[in-house]
Amino acid sequence: MASTHVHPQARASSGTISALVQLTKPSITRMVLITTACGAVMAPGVPAVLPLVLGVVGTALVVGSANALNMYLERDVDALMTRTRARPLPSGRLAPEVALIFGVAIGLIGLVMLTFLVNPLTGLLAAIALLSYVLVYTPLKPVTPYALHVGAVPGAMPPLIGYAALTGTIAWEGLALFAILFIWQLPHFAAITIFRREEYARAGLQVVSVARGDQGARRFVAFYAAVLCAVTLAPLAFGFATPLYVVIALLTGLPFLALSLWGLHPRSQGDVAGQKWARRTFFASMPYLVLVFGALVATSG
């Protein structure tokens, strides 16, 4: 019978690779791949395969770099929070210097790829996203709740990069996707801060629910859900939205807005009801974004 023994060095190498992959936050990176491709598909004409592939891969590398460097800078904060303490750095599965080198390396590779193999505009947009996320958003999190608005800029950049990768320009179609994704992040992440408020407070992060209290965070979610509903209709004003898209945007946006406004109702108050509402709002925001993006891309052109 063949031996099933695995050499300790091979096991350690496998563990290191797994930890490095976790640094890039694969679930977020997958979303980036999709939103970047959406931006590319919105470009006029038939998408050119090579710029599309290079644009998506380069953007994924830059986003992975931003996530890895964010984890490097926040490793002490992550150790204080239940949902993050098992990450590679606070758990001790990866040395901080390895994470730093890895994050810088894949970021540079991604920027070089976008700048010289796609076009300089994509490299510039990606550089803005990377630097603002790592050097502005991350240090601001313990200081002000407006860090969320700053972080939403690089978070919304992928579809704009995807559009620029195919056209070398920025146009209303790409800006529409950017605006939708930018506003969407605000109620989405504010909802998380409501049901994880104690963890954020213990970690010293000035998120919306910590800085403004539970009621302030609820009003924040309701306000930006209303703004989001309006922004999803902006493509109609610029002439590249079809009636079908508008119907889908309304059929998905109005229920999400109603759910967000429910957080202001007395029946949603209290720890149990409030936690349930915040979780429901957070999870409902994800299929809402998918449907709106999918409808806009599928009906464009």
The verdict on 176 and 164 lying in the same domain is no
pLDDT in tens, 113-158: 999 999 999 999 999 999 999 999 999 999 999 999 999 999 999 9
pLDDT in tens, 37-84: 999 988 888 778 999 999 999 999 999 999 999 999 999 999 988 888
d(CA 218, CA 193): 10
The verdict on 199 and 236 lying in the same domain is yes
Tally of domains in the chain: 2
Q: What b/e string do you get for 101-118 counting C-beta neighbours within 10 Å, with b at 16 or more? A: ebbeebbeebbebbbebb
d(CA 156, CA 216): 24
The verdict on 143 and 177 lying in the same domain is no
Chain centroid to Cα 61, Å, comes to 14
The verdict on 243 and 112 lying in the same domain is no
How high is the pLDDT of residue 76?
93
d(CA 243, CA 204): 46
pTM metric for this prediction:
0.91
Please count the other Cβ atoms lying within 10 Å of the Cβ belonging to residue 246.
Answer: 16
Residue 88: domain span = 21-169
Q: State which of 169, 190, 223 marks the end of a domain.
A: 169
The verdict on 146 and 49 lying in the same domain is yes
Contact indicator for 37, 55 with CB cutoff of 8 Å: no
Q: Which residues lie below 8 Å from residue 125, measured CB to CB, with a gap of 6+?
A: 157, 160, 161, 164
pLDDT in tens, 241-294: 899 999 999 999 999 999 999 999 988 988 888 899 999 999 999 999 999 999
Angstrom distances, CA of residue 31 to CA of 20, 63, 65, 88, 180: 18, 10, 15, 21, 14
Write the CATH number for 217.
Answer: 1.20.120
Contact indicator for 122, 161 with CB cutoff of 8 Å: yes
Q: State which of 149, 169, 189 marks the end of a domain.
A: 169
Write the CATH number for 104.
Answer: 1.10.357.140
Angstrom distances, CA of residue 103 to CA of 93, 140, 263: 16, 20, 39
